[in-house]
Amino acid sequence: MKLVILGGAGVRTVFFTNGVAQKADLMGITELVLFDTDEKKLAIMGALSKYAARKANPALIVSTSLDIREAVSGADYVVTTIRVGYDEGRVIDEDIAMKHGVLGQETTGIGGFSMALRTIPVMKEYCRIIKELAPRAWIFNFTNPSGLVTQALRDAGYDRVLGICDAPSGTKINMAEALGIPAGELKVQFAGLNHLSFVTSVIHHGKELLPELLKDDDFLKKVKEFSMFEPDVIRTIGHLPNEYLYYFFYRNKANQNVKGSQKARGRAVMENNIEMFKALSQMNPETQIEEMLQTYLRFMYNRESTYMVNETNQALAHKPFDGQIPNAEGYAGVMMNYLLTMATGEEREMVLSIPDSVGHFGLKAGDVMEITCRITKEGIVVEERGELSPAAQAVIQSVKAYENLTVEAINTKSVQTAQAALMAHPLIGDYPLAKKLVEDILSAHKTYLGEWNY
C-alpha cells in the first residue's frame, strides 16, 4: 500500500518516516512518498528520511516528489502537514499580533486565523486532486489549525478526512507515567475541539480516577501539560485541560510573557530552521549522512526544548540529548494506530477530529469536534463523551462559532464575516480590534489571499 505525506520537506518528516518504517510491515505499507513544493528542502529531508528508513526497515521504499498528481495517484493513505507562507508567514502573523497586543500563537491565537485563511484554499485543491486520483484514500489532516482546517474540508464534502493531533496521546502517556502504570491500561476520554479539549474521564481497571486526580496536586505537577496551570484553575474548570487552554485561562500572562521575551516563538523557530538547513546544505548526503542526521537531531532538540517556554515563562522538562531519533511517534503514531487496525482488525482507541453526527455540548450536527473514538475494521465508533462543565462548554461554543465563521469568510472572501469571526473569538471579542487585525492580515498576505469583498 502507498502512503503519502504532503509537506514532506517539513522538519518533522524524519521522525514520521522513522515511525512508519518501524511498523510498515505490520501496516502493509510498502511505499512512502514525500511531496513538497520546496525542492531544496525536500532534497535534504528526503535524504535524511531515506537514511532513517533504511536503518529501521530496508524494505520500505521511500521516494520524493514535486508533482502533487504524481505523488497522490493511487494512494491508499495521505497525511497532510503543509505550511502555506512558510515560517516567514508565521513571523508576520506574530508581528501583527504583537502590534495589536494579542496572542499570535499559530493555532489558538490570531496566527491560527491567518494561517487558516492562507491554508484552507490550498488544502481544498489538494483534496480535490486526491479525490480524483485516489478516491478511496483516507486523508489524515495534521495541517494547522487542524480542527478548523478539518471543518472546512468536511464542509466542502471531503468525507474521508480525519483530523489528527498528537497532543492527546502524548498527554495520556504522561498521565500514565505520573501514575506509574502502563499507558495501555489507562482509558482516557477527551472531548472538545482540537487544542481545546478536556478530559472527562480517566478509568483504570474499571475505576474512575478523575475526581481524585483533580484533587491531587502532586499528580498535576508531575504531568507537564497540567503543570503550567495552578491546581485551583483546573479544579475551577472541572476537567484536566489540554495544554493550549493555557492561552485562554492565562491570556494576559501569556501576552505579557511573550512581550517580555527576546523574540516570539515563530521567529525563534524560523531562525533555528534557517541555521539547520544552512548547516545541512553544506554536507554531502552520499558521504556525510550520519553527520547530517546528528546535526538535524541537535537542531530539533533545541527547537523542542524551548516549546511554550516564552508563553509560560517556565522551563519545561526535557530528556538530555542522546543523538537518537526520538521513539515518540507523534502524529505518525496517531495515524499508524488507524492503519494497524485496518491491517490486523485489532480495535484501538484514538482521539480524532470528526463531525459530530448529533450535536453535543451546544454544538450542532456536522460540527467537527475532537473526541475519543474506538477504531474498528468496520469503521469509527465515538466513545461515550462524558459530561463537560458549563465553563468548559462556554469556551468550546464560542471557539466553534469562530471556526464556522472563519470557514464561511474564506469561502465567500467576505471581510465582514472575517471580522465577525474574530469578534466571536474569546481572545479577541472587540470590533475595532477585529477590524484592524483583518485589514493587516489581508494586506500582509495579499500574495496568498488576493482581493476580498465587503
Query: pLDDT by residue (tens digit) across 123-150?
Result: 999 999 999 999 999 999 999 999 999 9
Whether the Cβ atoms of residue 90 and residue 113 lie closer than 8 Å to each other: no
Pick from 347, 345, 410, 335: which is nearest to 138 by CA? 335
Specify the amino acid at residue 24: A
What are the domain boundaries of the chain? Answer: 2-163, 168-248+328-382, 253-312
pLDDT digits (tens, 9 = 90+) for 201-258: 999 999 999 999 999 999 999 999 999 999 999 999 999 999 999 999 999 999 888 8
The single residue of 93, 166, 367, 440 carrying the catalytic annotation is: 166
End-to-end CA gap in the chain: 47
What does the pLDDT read at residue 312? 63
Q: What is the mean pLDDT of the chain?
A: 93
Residue 100, marked binder: no
CA distance 118 to 87: 13
Model pLDDT, residue 314: 58
348 carries a ligand binding annotation: no
Element (H, E) at 141: strand 138-141
**Which pLDDT value is given to residue 357?**
85
Q: Reply yes or no on whether 307 is catalytic.
A: no
In CATH, which of 3.40.50.140, 3.90.110.10, 3.90.1150.10, 3.40.50.970 is domain 168-248+328-382? 3.90.110.10
Residue owning grid cell 483516507? 138
Kindly report, residue by residue over 332-360, the tens digit of the pLDDT.
788 999 999 999 999 999 999 999 988 88
Rg from Cα positions in the chain: 21
Q: Which of the 8 DSSP states describes residue 396?
A: H
Contact between 283 and 292 under an 8 Å Cβ cutoff? The reply is yes
What are the cell numbers at 204?
483504570
Contact 20, 95 (CB under 8 A): no
Query: CA of 311: how far to CAs of 247, 308, 315, 364, in Å?
Result: 8, 5, 10, 33
> Which fold is adopted by the domain 2-163?
Rossmann fold (3.40.50)
| Polymer length in residues for the chain | 454
Rounded Cα gap, residues 330 and 307, in angstroms = 15
Ranges of the chain with pLDDT below 70: 262, 306-319, 327-331
Q: Is residue 54 marked as binding?
A: no
Which residue in the block uniquely carries the three cell numbers 511498523?
23
Of 244, 250, 331, 402, the catalytic one is 244
CB 368 within 8 A of CB 163: yes
Q: How many helices and strands (H and E) does the chain possess?
A: 21, 13
Q: Active-site residue 36, yes or no?
A: no
